[in-house]
Amino acid sequence: MVGAVVENLSGRKLAVLGGLLVTAQVTCFLLGGIRTPAPSGTIQSLTTKCLDPVKDGSHDTWFIPWPTDRFGETLCERLEHIDEALGRNVTARQIVFASKLPHRKENATLDFSRWQQNLIGVLQVDVEYEPERNMAVLQVELTMDLRLGYRNKRDSEWHLLAESTETRTLRCSVENSQKEEVMGLKRRHAYDCDMIPLFELGNIHHDFYLLNIRLPSELMDGRKVNQNLGRLSDLTLTVIHGNGGFVKKWLAMKSAFLPIVSAAAAWFWARVLKLHRAPSLLESMLLALGVALSVLNVPLELLSLVFDTPWMPLVSDMRQGLFYATLLSFWLVFAGEHLMDDVERNKLSEYRKNLLSVGLGCLSLFVFDMCERGTQLRNPFQSIWRTRVGANCALAFIVMAAISAIVYFVFLSYLILKVFLNISSKRSALPAMSSLRRMHYEGIIYRFKFLMLFTLLCAAMTVVSFIIGQVSEGEWKWEDDAQIDIQYTSAFFTGVYGMWNIYVLSLLALYAPSHKRWPQESDTLSVSGEQLEFSRLPTEPTDAPGLQDLLQKQSLD
C-alpha cells in the first residue's frame, strides 16, 4: 500500500533525517547567539539649541549642531539655555533644536550604513517644574515645525527629505518629593514626561541626516500654540536603528533557506501530481505553506543596499502576515484532518468558521499596519501614536493581538489533545492485527505524535515571537507607565525563524507520497537470525495514508 514517507521511512533513515534537522535548529540558535549584536541599537543625545537671526524663522537655512567634516564651520549660534534668548527680543520660532545623525563619537564623524535598514526617532521633552503654577500633572498639545534633511559624503549641501507641522500630546507628571527638591533649589528638571514618537524611515539610504525642530508660539495662520507648555529646558532625541551585523546574518539565513525550501516544495508537489487522484486538502495546504515560506525567505531587503526603498517595512510586514495567515490556517487543517472521528473534512469549507477568525485577525493587522506604515510613505513624521486617543487605540490593538494569539494557541492545543485521545481509542484495534501490521501502525502512531508535539512547540514559539515582536516595536512609542520590560536576544529571533523553515521542510519531506509499499496481512514472514525478510504477494497500490487506513479498517470491522 502506498502512503506518506513518514509511514514507510525506515527507522535508521528517520533518525538520520531527525539528526540533520536538530543540527540545523541548533545552528540557527548559535548563529544569533554567538558574536551577533542585538537586532537594534539606540543612540541618545541632547539636541543643540541654535538661534535663527531671521525673525520670521525662515525655513531656507539648515542649522547644524557642530562643524561639518567638509567645511569645518557651523551655521548654529549656540544657546546654552533658553533663558539666554529672553533678554534679546527673540521669538519662539527663532529657537531651533538641531540634531545631526549619527552623533559624533570621540570627535570622530560617523556615518550610517545601509545595512542598518531603518531609523526611528523619539523625543524626550524636559520641562521645568514651576512652583507658582503648582501643577502635578501637565498635559498639553505640543506643536512642532519639523524638517528632516540628508547629505551623503560627496554632497556639498543638505537636501530636504521631509517637512511637516505636527502635533503631539505631551503628558508630564511630578512627584511630591520632587516638588520639595525644586522648592529647595536642589534640581531644575522635575517633570517626568512621556516619550513622543517623532519620525520613522523605512530604510537608511543616506550617510547623514539632520533634524531641525521649532516650537513656535504662533503659526503662520495666526493661531496660538504651545501656550501652556511652561518652562521648556531641553529636547533629548533617541534614535533606534537596526544593527548591521544582525541584518547580515538574518539575510544570510534567508538566502540559504530560500533554494532549499523552494526545491522541497517543488519536489513535494511533483510527487503528489504523480498519484492517481486529486491532491488532498492537507497536501494543498502544505504546498501553500511552502510557497508562503519561500516568499518570506526572499531576501528582498538586499534591494535597499542599492535603491531607496521607504516601502520596505510595509512589504516585509505584508509578507510576514501572509506567512502567519497560511501557517495558522495549516495548523487548523493539519489537526482537523487527523481527528479521525469518521467526519469527512477534505474540503476547505469545513473549516470556514476557524479560518474566518484567522482571516479577520490578519485583516485587522493589515489595516493597522497601513494606518501606521502606509501613511509614513508620504510623511515620515506621521504616526498613529501622535495623539492620546491614537496611542490608546494602538496599545489596545497590540494587547488584543497578543490575547488573540494566546487564545489561538490554547484552541490548537485542545485540537491536538483531542487528536491524541482519538488515536489512543483507535489503538484498541491493533491487538487483533497480525504482528507485522501492528508493528507498522505502531511506528506510524509514534512518528505522528512526534510531529504533533513538534507542531505544538512551533506554535508556542511562534506566539511568543509574535508577542515580543509587537511589544518591542511599540515599547519606544507608548507611555513609560505602560511599557513592558522585555529582554530578547538575537538567538531567539534566528532560532524561531530557523524553526519555521525546519518545520516546513520536515513536513514537506515526511508527508510527501511514498513510492514504497508495506506488506499486507497475507504476506509471509520468515526469520533468519535477527533479519526479517518479507515475500509480498502482488497487491494493487492505493493512495490512502496508513493512519487513515487504520480508521477505515476499524470502521469496517
Strand pairing category for 159-173 and 192-193:
antiparallel
- Tell me if the bond preceding 102 is cis, omega within 30° of 0: yes
In three state form, how does the secondary structure of 381-445 look?
Answer: CCCCCCCHHHHHHHHHHHHHHHHHHHHHHHHHHHHHHHHHHHHHHHHHHHHHCCHHHHHHHHHHH
User: Residue 145 carries which side chain, given as an amino acid letter?
Assistant: D
Nearest one of 508, 544, 9, 16 to 267, comparing CA atoms: 508
CB-CB neighbours of 209 under 10 Å: 22
Least confident of 15-19, 50-54, 362-366, 522-526: 522-526
Give the pLDDT confidence score for residue 402 in this predicted structure: 76
Cα torsion through 423, 427, 428, 429, rounded to 10: 120
Which grid cell is 339?
481527528
Give the gyration radius of the chain's Cα atoms: 31
pLDDT in tens, 252-301: 999 999 999 999 999 999 888 888 778 888 889 999 999 999 999 999 99
d(CA 148, CA 146): 7
For the chain, domains (ranges, CATH) are 5-38+245-555 (1.20.1070), 41-242 (no CATH)
Give the pLDDT confidence score for residue 296 in this predicted structure: 93
Cα torsion through 168, 169, 175, 180, rounded to 10: 60
Give the pLDDT confidence score for residue 487 in this predicted structure: 42
Give the pLDDT confidence score for residue 148 in this predicted structure: 92
For residue 243, is pLDDT > 50?
Answer: yes
Q: Which residues pair with 144 in a beta bridge?
A: 166
Give the pLDDT confidence score for residue 444 in this predicted structure: 63
For residue 224, is pLDDT > 50?
Answer: yes
Mean model confidence pLDDT for the chain: 75
d(CA 84, CA 93): 15
Give the pLDDT confidence score for residue 359 in this predicted structure: 80
pLDDT in tens, 140-187: 888 899 999 999 988 878 899 989 888 888 888 887 545 555 444 444
CB-CB neighbours of 332 under 10 Å: 20
Give the pLDDT confidence score for residue 528 in this predicted structure: 34
- Only one residue has cell 491532491, namely 279
Which grid cell is 302?
538586499
Angle between helix axes 388-426 and 352-369 (nearest 10 degrees) is 150
pLDDT in tens, 107-129: 677 888 889 888 889 998 888 87
For residue 490, is pLDDT > 90?
Answer: no
Reported confidence tier of residue 37, pLDDT bands at 50, 70, 90: confident
What is the chain's percent helix, strand, coil content, to nearest 5? 50, 20, 30
Q: Which of 172-181, 220-229, 386-395, 419-428 is the most confident on average?
A: 220-229
Q: Which of 6-10, 111-115, 133-137, 294-298 is the most confident on average?
A: 294-298
Give the pLDDT confidence score for residue 436 in this predicted structure: 56
For residue 530, is pLDDT > 50?
Answer: no
Give the pLDDT confidence score for residue 446 in this predicted structure: 63
Q: Which residue has the higher pLDDT, 464 or 547?
A: 464
On whether the CB atoms of residues 101 and 211 are closer than 8 A, the answer is yes
CB-CB neighbours of 107 under 10 Å: 6
Q: Which residue has the higher pLDDT, 331 or 134?
A: 331
Give the pLDDT confidence score for residue 150 in this predicted structure: 92
Nearest one of 404, 256, 408 to 327, comparing CA atoms: 408
- What are the backbone angles phi and psi of residue 225, rounded to the nearest 5°? -135, 165
Q: Which residue has the higher pLDDT, 29 or 448?
A: 29
Give the pLDDT confidence score for residue 261 in this predicted structure: 93
Q: Read off the pLDDT of each residue in 46-75 and give the average, rounded to a whole number.
A: 72
Q: Read off the pLDDT of each residue in 407-413 and give the average, rounded to a whole number.
A: 84
Least confident of 115-129, 309-323, 337-351: 337-351
Q: How far is CA 137 from CA 172, 457, 478, 530, in A?
A: 6, 46, 17, 83
Q: How far is CA 398 from CA 159, 380, 554, in A?
A: 36, 21, 48
Which grid cell is 164?
511637516
Which grid cell is 500?
519555521
- Only one residue has cell 527663532, namely 94
Global pTM reads 0.78
Q: Read off the pLDDT of each residue in 244-254 and give the average, rounded to a whole number.
A: 88
Give the pLDDT confidence score for residue 544 in this predicted structure: 41
pLDDT in tens, 186-198: 445 568 888 888 8
Least confident of 238-247, 463-472, 542-551: 542-551
d(CA 145, CA 128): 22
∠ CA 150-242-468, nearest 5°, is 135
Q: Read off the pLDDT of each residue in 422-447 and give the average, rounded to a whole number.
A: 63
- Cβ-in-10-Å burial (0-12, 13-18, 19+) of 449 comes to middle
* % of the chain beyond a pLDDT of 90: 9
For residue 527, is pLDDT > 50?
Answer: no
Which grid cell is 445?
502512531
Q: Which of 7-11, 36-40, 466-470 is the most confident on average?
A: 36-40
Give the pLDDT confidence score for residue 429 in this predicted structure: 60
Q: Which residues pair with 159 in a beta bridge?
A: 150
Q: What is the DSSP code string of 15-69?
A: HHHHHHHHHHHHHHHHHHHSS---SEEEEEEEPEEEE-SSTT--SS----SS--T
For residue 441, is pLDDT > 70?
Answer: no
